[in-house]
Amino acid sequence: MTAAEDGPTPPRQAPFVVDPYPTLARIRANGPVSILHSDEGLPMWVVARYRDVRAALADPRFGQDARRAQELADRRVAGVTLGGDMVHMLNSDPPDHTRLRRLIHGFFTARRVAAMRPLVQRITTALLDELADRDTVDLVADFAFPLPMLVICELIGFPPEERAAYRSWSTAILTHGDDPAAFGRALRELTEHIAVVLRRRRTDPRDDLLTLLLAARDQGQLTDDEIVGMVFLLLIGGHETTVNLLGTATLALLRHPDQHAWLRRNRAALPAAVDEFLRYESPVSMATLRFTTAPVDVDGVEIPAGELVLVSLGGANRDPDRFPDADRLLLDRGDAGHLAFGHGTHRCLGAFLGKLEGEVALAGLLDHFPALALAGTETDLRWRNTIMLRGLESLPVAPRG
Ligand code: HEM
């Protein structure tokens, strides 16, 4: 069963938000690049075929610098906010990008992340134990969200009891087009919060990222604004993505009982299954906005210099020229060539951690709740209202079936 066959569109949700794949298939069929317009009328080029997406992500002629992207947008349509107010590695180009990424790279190596398995396991078990006696739970609010949030708080050195505030700031910032006032407020409050925690950490150093960032600042390796940007990126990038993975992977299992049963019988296949979940529902559906710094030929079509470009990871991961039967979830596909973590210079720094969290969380769900079932109907499902991310707002389930 594909997502497109899964029932009518819930009220007030744009069809693209509920199921982007038919549109992405049309964009791929249309040619190597298409031009779309944002609600404000801003033209953006879209690349959605696997080969072209992979090439674009590795091509230094596609810039990321948020300030330059905003200038390009301003020249086209007055008053458009791209939302890149906070400068961090994901919206910077080398050499700033290289310097910022190098500073914290050591926290995310395979070895360092493997050492975090007991922490991820402990958090997972504690969360699932709490759900055991309940008839219905919201798998997103009660599990998929707190798990990566508690992990990233530990890694950064942030007070986990503030996690509800982090979630609402994060939502307001990511959906900035919906409510610009809420966006501005969230950005201000988060910046102030980061400054307060940093001040506290100065007198109470620990083995966490905040302590490392403070030391780097003292050595002149980054500025105060860059610390705030770094923490902002890790807090948001470190949970929004994994929340989406856990929610959509669970939904995919509930929608595909044959695959669910197969995974129970083949538990050793879980790491590879996580790759298939990432391919099937790319948690970051659209890479962050790029722009051309020079004319670029995409499979015979030229994008001139100075154009804004959307690179569709969700489109690439469902490209039938790369993945046979691309719209089917096949947990034994055995192909980790998806682009869900991006590719090239900005490939996800937290990829090992995201995969570890996916593995431990799904193993925990299979162990704790073998009869897990959807509570409510498909039409009750709410998807996050953004074209950039692919995730559920909530997922009501009955843990004991
Ligand atoms: C399943 C989970 C995750 C997915 C699918 C994911 C996806 C991505 C993607 C697609 C990019 C590149 C975006 C682009 O090129 O525009 C990215 C970058 C990044 N991710 Fe992740 N991510 C995940 C988990 C995490 C976690 C857990 C962390 C941190 C704790 C993290 C930190 C970052 C950072 C810092 C970058 C920027 C890298 C750079 O600019 O060089 N991610 N992620």
Tens place of pLDDT for every residue, the chain, 401 residues? 233 334 444 457 888 999 999 999 999 999 999 999 988 899 999 999 999 999 999 999 999 998 999 999 999 988 887 877 788 999 999 999 999 999 999 999 999 999 999 999 999 999 999 999 999 999 999 999 999 999 999 999 999 899 889 888 888 887 766 777 888 898 899 889 998 998 899 898 888 999 999 999 999 999 998 998 999 999 999 999 999 999 999 999 999 999 999 999 999 999 999 999 999 999 999 999 999 999 999 999 999 999 999 999 999 999 999 999 999 999 999 999 999 999 999 999 999 999 999 999 999 999 999 999 999 888 889 999 888 999 999 999 999 98
- Give the residues across from 297 on adjacent strands: 302
Residue to mutate, 348, 384, 387, ligand 1, most ligand atoms under 8 Å from C-beta? 348
The reported pLDDT for the residue numbered 3 is 35
Q: What is the CATH number of the domain that holds 383?
A: 1.10.630.10
Q: What is the C-alpha to C-alpha distance for residues 80 and 107, in angstroms, rounded to an integer? A: 36
Paired tokens of 24: 């992405």
Q: What is the C-alpha to C-alpha distance for residues 228 and 160, in angstroms, rounded to an integer? A: 18
Q: What is the C-alpha to C-alpha distance for residues 39 and 385, in angstroms, rounded to an integer? A: 14
Number of domains in the chain: 1
CB of 101 sitting under 6 A from ligand 1: yes
Q: What is the C-alpha to C-alpha distance for residues 153 and 298, in angstroms, rounded to an integer? A: 41
The reported pLDDT for the residue numbered 7 is 44
Q: CB-based burial of residue 189 (10 Å sphere; 0-12 exposed, 13-18 middle, 19+ buried)?
A: middle
Q: Which atom of ligand 1 is nearest to the CA of 284?
A: 10
Contact 352, 113 (CB under 8 A): yes
**Does residue 388 lie within any of the structural domains?**
yes
CB of 89 sitting under 6 A from ligand 1: yes
- List the domain range (segments joined by +) for residue 367: 3-139+240-398
> How far separated are the first and last CA of the chain, in Å rounded?
21
* Cα(242) to centroid(ligand 1), Å: 10
Contact 49, 26 (CB under 8 A): no
356-to-108, 121, 151, 245 alpha-carbon distances in Å? 12, 10, 11, 12
Positive or negative: CA dihedral 71, 77, 79, 82? negative
CB of 284 sitting under 6 A from ligand 1: yes
Paired tokens of 71: 């200038």
DSSP 269-288: GHHHHHHHHHHHT-SB-BPP
**Does residue 299 lie within any of the structural domains?**
yes
* Cα(348) to centroid(ligand 1), Å: 4
Residue to mutate, 98, 250, 341, 384, ligand 1, most ligand atoms under 8 Å from C-beta? 341
Which stretch of DSSP H or E encloses residue 394? strand 392-394
* Cα(189) to centroid(ligand 1), Å: 23
**Does residue 187 lie within any of the structural domains?**
no
* Cα(185) to centroid(ligand 1), Å: 25
Paired tokens of 73: 């947008």
* Cα(190) to centroid(ligand 1), Å: 20
**Does residue 150 lie within any of the structural domains?**
no
CB of 348 sitting under 6 A from ligand 1: yes
* Cα(287) to centroid(ligand 1), Å: 10
CB of 331 sitting under 6 A from ligand 1: no
**Does residue 224 lie within any of the structural domains?**
no
- Give the residues across from 397 on adjacent strands: 137, 374
**Does residue 392 lie within any of the structural domains?**
yes
CB of 350 sitting under 6 A from ligand 1: yes
**Does residue 148 lie within any of the structural domains?**
no
* Cα(108) to centroid(ligand 1), Å: 11
Residue type at 202 in one-letter notation: R
The reported pLDDT for the residue numbered 182 is 87
CB of 361 sitting under 6 A from ligand 1: no
The residue nearest atom 41 of ligand 1, judged by CA position, is: 346
Query: Longest Cα pair distance anywhere in the chain, in angstroms?
Result: 59
- Angle, helices 224-237 vs 209-218, to 10°: value is 160
* Cα(351) to centroid(ligand 1), Å: 7
Q: Which of 367, 394, 399 is nearest to 138 (CA)?
A: 394
DSSP 321-371: TTSTTTTS--TT-------TT--GGG--TTHHHHHHHHHHHHHHHHHH-TT
**Does residue 88 lie within any of the structural domains?**
yes
* Cα(284) to centroid(ligand 1), Å: 8
